[in-house]
């Protein structure tokens, strides 16, 4: 009867594992944040000490837009429908910005970065025209652009259903005239030099001399169209015809090889 009062008392001890002593690991995170902040602070102080005022201005310009694009509507007809592109007053009027920074003593790396950014903004201004009208949208189907060491390359090319020129001649089709007017308006946002280069698809029955001559004639024709569209004649820095020597496709006879390249040259390629 008394055995119920003599049961052994069992004490369970729970072992707690993990953690980092009584401090935990939170202090390591806080310390890492502190060290990172101090590194950033000392790097900033070093940059302020190691650069000139002009270089700091160039770095600041790299992170702030210098070619804000606005569009005003006029009353014209045609592909541009009276719209005109304008750069705001904050645009550097002496050129693409890279030259201004270089003249003020900024390092070439900063100047090149500023110029590259402004060329990209110019490219965006061109591509942004596509949403303005059905005609613009169709015209821009002939256009590709890319940024190279030479500058911003704007390529206009034949499409299967629409060519830039009337057969193997230098007579422009309406879409080519429209594109020239559109490009002339966009290119007035900067004052970089322009190179115009024409390429041909290999054409049966045309001899080599005729193809060289035709490609150069097409380059001249397109340059004249941009001048008619309002581009200053002195902006054209180079004209060249490449015949069929630089095909854009594997097949030299493909219509896609009939193209005009308009290059917005980097400052160093036409100012020096």
Tens of pLDDT along 49-63?
877 665 666 666 555
Model pLDDT, residue 191 = 85
Decide: 106 and 122 in contact? Cβ < 8 Å: no
pLDDT, mean over the chain: 79
Domain residues for the domain of 261 are: 119-269
Residue 203 inside a domain? The answer is yes
d(CA 64, CA 121): 12
Helix, strand, coil in percent for the chain, rounding step 5: 45, 15, 40
Residue 204 inside a domain? The answer is yes
Residue 148 inside a domain? The answer is yes
Model pLDDT, residue 124 = 85
d(CA 161, CA 180): 19
- CATH code, 150: 3.30.1330.60
User: Does the structure show a pLDDT above 70 at 84?
Assistant: no
Decide: 65 and 121 in contact? Cβ < 8 Å: yes
Residue 76 inside a domain? The answer is no
At residue 235, φ and ψ (nearest 5 deg) are -70, -25
- pLDDT tens, position by position, 199-214: 999 988 899 999 999 9
Most confident of 69-78, 125-134, 170-179: 170-179
What pLDDT band is residue 245 in, cutting at 50, 70 and 90? Answer: very high
Indicate the pTM of the whole model.
0.62
Residue 133 inside a domain? The answer is yes
User: Does the structure show a pLDDT above 50 at 181?
Assistant: yes
Residue 97 inside a domain? The answer is no
Decide: 109 and 116 in contact? Cβ < 8 Å: no
For the chain, counts of helices (H) and of strands (E): 7, 7
Residue 7 inside a domain? The answer is no
Decide: 210 and 200 in contact? Cβ < 8 Å: no
Q: How many structural domains are present in the chain?
A: 1
Let me know the angle formed at the C-alpha of 203 by 158 and 175, rounded to the nearest 5 degrees.
Answer: 20
Decide: 66 and 89 in contact? Cβ < 8 Å: no
């Amino acid at each position: 009867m008394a055995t119920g009062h003599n049961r052994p008392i069992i004490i369970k001890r729970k072992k707690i594992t993990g953690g980092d002593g009584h401090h935990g690991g939170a202090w390591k995170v806080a310390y890492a944040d502190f060290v990172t902040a101090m590194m950033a602070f000392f790097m900033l102080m070093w940059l302020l000490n190691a650069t000139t005022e002009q270089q700091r201005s160039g770095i600041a310009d790299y992170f702030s837009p210098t070619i804000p694009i606005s569009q005003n509507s006029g009353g014209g007809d045609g592909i541009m429908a009276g719209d005109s592109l304008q750069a705001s007053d904050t645009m550097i009027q002496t050129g693409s910005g890279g030259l201004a920074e270089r003249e003020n003593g900024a390092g070439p790396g900063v100047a090149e970065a500023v110029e590259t950014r402004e060329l990209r903004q110019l490219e965006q201004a061109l591509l942004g025209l596509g949403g303005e009208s059905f005609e613009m949208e169709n015209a821009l189907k002939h256009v590709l652009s890319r940024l190279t060491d030479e500058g911003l390359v704007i390529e206009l090319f034949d499409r299967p259903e629409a060519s830039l020129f009337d057969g193997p001649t230098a007579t422009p089709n309406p879409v080519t005239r429209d594109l020239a007017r559109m490009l002339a308006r966009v290119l007035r946002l900067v004052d970089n030099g322009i190179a115009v280069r024409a390429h041909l698809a290999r054409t049966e029955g045309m001899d080599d001399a005729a193809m060289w001559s035709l490609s150069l004639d097409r380059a001249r024709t397109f340059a004249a169209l941009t001048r008619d569209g309002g581009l200053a004649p002195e902006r054209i820095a180079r004209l060249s015809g490449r015949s069929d020597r630089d095909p854009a496709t594997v097949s030299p006879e493909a219509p896609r090889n009939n193209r005009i390249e308009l290059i917005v040259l980097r400052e160093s390629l036409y100012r020096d």
